[in-house]
Amino acid sequence: MTTTTLKVGLIQQSNTEDISKNISKLEANIANCAKQGAELIVLQELHNSLYFCQTEDVDLFDLAEPIPGPSTERYSEIAEKHGIVLVTSLFEKRASGIYHNTAVVFDKDGSMAGKYRKMHIPDDPGFYEKFYFTPGDLGFQPIQTSIGKLGVLVCWDQWYPEAARLMAMTGADLLIYPTAIGWDPRDDEAEKERQRNAWITIQRSHAVANGVPVISVNRIGHEADPSRLSEGIKFWGNSFACGPQGEFLAQASTSEEQNLVVSIDLNRSEDVRRIWPFFRDRRIDSYQEITKRFLDN
């Protein structure tokens, strides 16, 4: 780890069908965060376009790009221009018939520091990601950058303590989750609140269990279902950063576009792990069953 206090920018943005306008708005928001001193800026999941996984449509594979490709070239230039580490989230075309949901990290000089392919792929009403994405095959490896090791995971990964643990065990200084999650507008308010609180709680628990800060960036706004079989998704925003004891450092609105810039003290992980030595006390001799799907009685 080469930095102690790190300024991080979280960009919570709504999107339209116009990809060029979405990217232009992202550029302006990145510039705004960089002007406020952010050295690390995190974008939401699949930020170039609408969240296209609400329906299964083979024509939407046309949105995918190779890596490297046009988007990586553009975001590389943006990272170099502002001298920032930039976490992006792209629809990767690896080969015909093989596509991934891929986070790409750029360092301050514009170089590609590394990438992570989303490992856990959901298949729920409105989130038909198994139709589009092949599960990742790069494992849970932090990405080394000039500001430290970034444990980048993506959306559905955020519900799995195993993913967070493996990133932390491999030396991640931060856990980072680009996200696209929201409500079915037909759900009642009590159910919406339970879902949002569960989403926040599980990620804060990863910070506590591993003694590392967590950054989660969600999109905002209502996006219609192209198939018209549902009322679409209302993304709930609430992008946030928390410290290694799960304490909130910053939290965005549930309804508004917002740029957050927050200072994170990376030295606190060392202090917290000394008083809560969870890694020391893990019973690694007794966890063999964890690799099984389920344990029948």
Tokens of 52: 């296209």
pLDDT of residue 110: 98
Q: Which of 7, 33, 45, 115 is catalytic?
A: 45
**What is the SS3 assignment for 74?**
helix
pLDDT of residue 1: 45
The pTM of the full predicted model, rounded to 2 decimals, is 0.96
Q: Which of 7, 115, 118, 234 is catalytic?
A: 118
Q: Which of 25, 65, 115, 155 is catalytic?
A: 155
Concerning whether 7 is annotated as a catalytic residue, the answer is no
pLDDT of residue 197: 98
Concerning whether 53 is annotated as a catalytic residue, the answer is no
DSSP code at position 65: B
* Position 208, amino acid: V
pLDDT of residue 297: 74
**What is the SS3 assignment for 167?**
helix
Q: Where are the domains of the chain?
A: 5-291
Burial class (CB in 10 A: 0-12, 13-18, 19+), 32: middle
The helix (run of H) or strand (run of E) holding residue 119 is none
**What is the SS3 assignment for 75?**
helix
pLDDT of residue 3: 55
pLDDT of residue 49: 98
Concerning whether 45 is annotated as a catalytic residue, the answer is yes
Question: Is domain 5-291 classified as CATH 3.40.630.10?
Answer: no
Residues lower than pLDDT 50 in the chain: 1-2
